[in-house]
Amino acid sequence: MIALVQRVAEARVTVAGETVGAIGRGLLVLVCAEPADTEGHAGRLVDKLLKLRIFADESGKMNRSVVDVGGALLIVSQFTLAADVSGGNRPSFTGAAGPALGRSLYESVLRRARERHPAVAAGIFGAEMQVALVNDGPVTIPLRIA
């Protein structure tokens, strides 16, 4: 699985002008499943998200997790993270899982995150979404869960 994690002061997702998910301080996580991904990958991604130490401690060092700071997660599906532009200027998305597997694994990430963390918001799989955020830092971390 591919994820792009952004530490945010706030973030929200809207669909057709309606907010479907919003958080204050926490992590905006854009998620893309790849064809070989499994439920195990989804579990390892959630483990990493909850333990990732990218919030400042009292010394200003990145030493605290979203759990430690009482932050929230906003998890959004984004198959375009698998884009390949090596063959030209138009991206190919053959590296992304098909819609059925992509939806299943995205829903698995959401379910697992909600089982383990009290504040989880989400986008809508397959919808045309607008994502607004205030990146804190800025801090943006790419992850690949193999």
Catalytic pick from 14, 19, 38, 79? 79
Active site residue 78: yes
**DSSP strands (E only) in 16-116:** 18-23, 26-32, 55-56, 62-64, 72-77
Catalytic residue among 19, 38, 80, 130: 80
Q: Which of 78, 93, 94, 125 is catalytic?
A: 78
Separation in Å, CA 77 to CA 41, 60, 82, 87, 127: 15, 31, 12, 25, 9
- CA 69 to chain CA centroid, Å, is 18
Residue 79 among the catalytic residues: yes
Q: Is-catalytic flag, 130? A: no
| Residues classed as catalytic | 78-80
